[in-house]
Structure 1
Amino acid sequence: MSKTPASNRLTPRLRAACVAVAIAAVSGATLAGSPAASASSGAPTGTSQFRGVNWADPRDNFADDYLQLSGLSTSDNYARTYAKASRIISAFRANLGANTVRLPINPYTVNGAYWKSYRGVIDAASDKGFKVIVSYWEGTGDKKDGFIDDEATYWPMWNTVVKAYKNDRHVYFEPMNEPHGYTDTAWADIAAKWLATYPSVPRDRVFVSGAGYNDHVTSVCADPRLKGTYLSLHHYGFWKDYATYDQWVSDLKERLGDCANRTVADEFGAPMTTGLDYDHPAADNNYVNFIQADTDTFRKLGMGSVYWPGLRTDDIYSMQKLVGDASRPWLETTNQSGADRLAWGWGRGKPVKP
């Protein structure tokens, strides 16, 4: 999640990046047209099977070192990481009915010594039958610019992750979170290059982020090189000071175009620890309008959704909070009305109360 959307103006770095990806796209297009690159167990025909939450590092997943998900420790070995993660994943299912978790990766974590332990999180979720979306996050400071930080570490990271999990049907790959540094065309080129680089990964286990801050999927949806993949959309109430329920519905549908059958909203969220009641209409409250509009629309369109965040320490948006002994973590729901709306978007529960 990023709270400072930027324009798509062509900076010098962006112009250079566009040239680089354009060159890469020439060879990538050839590979993508090969039978191996087009391999898929079936093009997406709906996404309602993805009912999940994000599990995040307290630093919003932007880090220049190991990622440390809330409730875990980088000093834990694989066994302890797996045990803690198993309990937190179980709590997501027990408290929310979730079956999907989205997790961050970065080169520091995957290419470093902590990868052996961090795999315990992915393995624990997969072993419990969860769908696991692994997504690349960029670094902090001047690296937090919407570009891949360093391709010399980015591609080895993905080589490792794909090799480890290409045969695990529960694991899905998202090449980059919020690629807002690139133009729509440049980002589609990079996504096409990713697919061409890993032709053994079925396309229906890849999430191509919407362009910008994942804020629209229309451009990637229209690109034939990306056919057969899922698309990921982000949508947030703080993008507007105020909008009515109907305006939020229209805003979401405009960002989706006619691509809802391929799209998962793998980030959307609103304040959960401030006492807002999402079970009842409150026309003067932007966030209530937003959550009700999004969850109603997800349900009507048969879209999957992955709430931001299911768990992130000290985040007022967090749907869950850690309780119990740190060695045996469990979770409690921070806002039952928010959980009600999440379930409603997933096709369960009851409608908003009058």
Structure 2
Amino acid sequence: MRKTPARTPRFSPPLRAAVVAIAIAATTGTTLATGSAHAAPSADTTQFKGVNWADPRDNFADDPVVLSGLSTSDSYAQTYAKASRIISAFRANLGANTVRLPINPYTVNGSYWKSYRGVIDAASAKGFKVIVSYWEGTGARKDGFIDDPTTFWPMWDTVVKAYKNDKHVYFEPMNEPHGYTDTEWADIAAKWLATYPSVPRDRVFVSGAGYNDHVTSVCADPRLKGTYLSLHHYGFWKDYATYDQWVADLKERIGDCAGRTVADEFGAPMTTGLDYDKPTPDNNFINYVQAVTDTFRELKMGSVYWPGLRTDDTYSLQTLTGDPARPWLATTNQSGADRLAWGWGRGKPVGH
């Protein structure tokens, strides 16, 4: 999750030139189509009903990402057991069938990968769809670029080799690639597809450009045909907007690409007592949550809430309970869970 959306690239010109040159060299052209959305991998994306499971640090890390409730000291078996319970709790409490997980080179290229695989394996064994997404590091390097191509590609080599034959696992090459222009990012996404042709395109999530904040440009690129598109959308992007304004804002970012798009991050405060089941026109976040969940349902879009679980995050829809060795989850805001289910095509017509 980001604190501010932006479409203006922030970058070091030499770094951008080097990274983009590598990407373009492996692609077969950069011309974007100017028409509407290409054929979708399915008629809609409602099969993705999910939540993000995050590191307490927000997944931006210069060391292994450690999901809330887990530890780098956990063995594969301990990680698998804990993850099995947390995944089961996501299903029991929320009706989820999808989880989005972060990776970075420190997690995959180092010793923690053996244990971290327990999360992916446990979720897959439970029949969950698993979206695995690369997150950049922190500090001055938190600029919306791939931190280091010499570790990025070996990371994906390892992940793809491990999971290309697991139909439950989906690959998202990069989270929030806001350092790149729309065209530069499409070039890199096209390189990823060209590098891993054994991965079915309908198991790839191409992030929207910028902060994943619009999918129209990647949707229009013929090189990315057949992939899913991931959109991020947050209520803190505006100090205040009406319900109708939020609907319009979201639809503009999607264009005519809803058939390929999954909102794999959206969220609002869940631990502050807001009632998302009750229309409250003067409250920006209530307007936002009701508007986006209504729109997801209307457009038959899948969605993945940020975050399902993240320790000490006011947006977290679940919180850890019980013995840390045998974790379970409790819902922090039932009205938020109601709206999430409504967006997934379930539940009763509460709210606006």
Q: Please give the TM-score of this superposition, normalised by the length of structure 1.
A: 0.94
Matched-pair identity in %: 81
The residue aligned with 1:168 is 166
The residue aligned with 1:2 is 2
Q: In structure 1, what is the Cα distance between the partners aligned to 2:146 and 2:106?
A: 13
Question: Would you say the 8 A contact 1:74–1:114 is kept in 2?
Answer: yes
Asked if 1:345 is matched to 2:343, the reply is yes
Moved over 6 A (4+): none
Q: How much does 1:20 deviate?
A: 4.2
Q: How much does 1:23 deviate?
A: 5.4
267, 270, 286: which is aligned to 2:268?
A: 270
Q: In structure 2, what is the Cα distance between the partners aligned to 1:108 and 1:80?
A: 20
Change beyond 3 A, Cα 1:10–1:279: closer
Secondary structure class of the residue paired with 1:93: helix
Secondary structure class of the residue paired with 1:133: strand
86, 89, 113: which is aligned to 2:87?
A: 89
Structure 2 residues not aligned, in runs of 5+: 30-39
Amino acid at match of 1:125: A
Q: In structure 2, what is the Cα distance between the partners aligned to 1:176 and 1:158?
A: 11
Deviations 1:266-325 (A, max 9, x none): 000000000000001000000000000000000010000000000000000000000000
Deviations 1:218-246 (A, max 9, x none): 00000000000000000000000000000
Q: How much does 1:351 deviate?
A: 1.0
The residue aligned with 1:288 is 286
Q: In structure 2, what is the Cα distance between the partners aligned to 1:141 and 1:83?
A: 33
Amino acid at match of 1:134: V
Question: Would you say the 8 A contact 1:18–1:186 is kept in 2?
Answer: no
Q: In structure 1, what is the Cα distance between the partners aligned to 2:328 and 2:80?
A: 14
Change beyond 3 A, Cα 1:44–1:22: farther
Q: How much does 1:353 deviate?
A: 4.5
Q: How much does 1:28 deviate?
A: 1.9
Amino acid at match of 1:258: D
Amino acid at match of 2:16: A
Deviations 1:6-26 (A, max 9, x none): 452464x24652464245324
Change beyond 3 A, Cα 1:353–1:47: closer
Over the residues paired in the alignment, what is the CA RMSD in angstroms?
Answer: 1.4
Asked if 1:238 is matched to 2:249, the reply is no
Amino acid at match of 1:21: V
Q: In structure 2, what is the Cα distance between the partners aligned to 1:314 and 1:10?
A: 29
Deviations 1:22-56 (A, max 9, x none): 453243227xxxxxxxxxxx833210000000000
Asked if 1:29 is matched to 2:32, the reply is no
Q: In structure 2, what is the Cα distance between the partners aligned to 1:269 and 1:121?
A: 23
Q: In structure 2, what is the Cα distance between the partners aligned to 1:150 and 1:288?
A: 40
Aligned residues: 342
The residue aligned with 1:227 is 225
Q: In structure 2, what is the Cα distance between the partners aligned to 1:243 and 1:210?
A: 23
Q: In structure 1, what is the Cα distance between the partners aligned to 2:26 and 2:311?
A: 43
The residue aligned with 1:258 is 256
The residue aligned with 1:78 is 76
Secondary structure class of the residue paired with 1:46: coil
Secondary structure class of the residue paired with 1:29: coil
The residue aligned with 1:133 is 131
Q: In structure 1, what is the Cα distance between the partners aligned to 2:78 and 2:350?
A: 41
Structure 1 residues not aligned, in runs of 5+: 31-41
Q: How much does 1:4 deviate?
A: 2.7
The residue aligned with 2:277 is 279
The residue aligned with 1:195 is 193
Amino acid at match of 1:46: D
Secondary structure class of the residue paired with 1:169: coil
Q: In structure 2, what is the Cα distance between the partners aligned to 1:351 and 1:65?
A: 44
Change beyond 3 A, Cα 1:16–1:110: closer
Q: In structure 2, what is the Cα distance between the partners aligned to 1:72 and 1:300?
A: 37
The residue aligned with 2:34 is none
Q: How much does 1:143 deviate?
A: 1.3
Asked if 1:208 is matched to 2:206, the reply is yes
1:291-310 maps to which residues of 2 (within 5 A)? 291-310=289-308
Question: Would you say the 8 A contact 1:298–1:345 is kept in 2?
Answer: yes
Q: In structure 1, what is the Cα distance between the partners aligned to 2:270 and 2:22?
A: 45
Question: Would you say the 8 A contact 1:44–1:229 is kept in 2?
Answer: no
Q: Please give the TM-score of this superposition, normalised by the length of structure 2.
A: 0.95
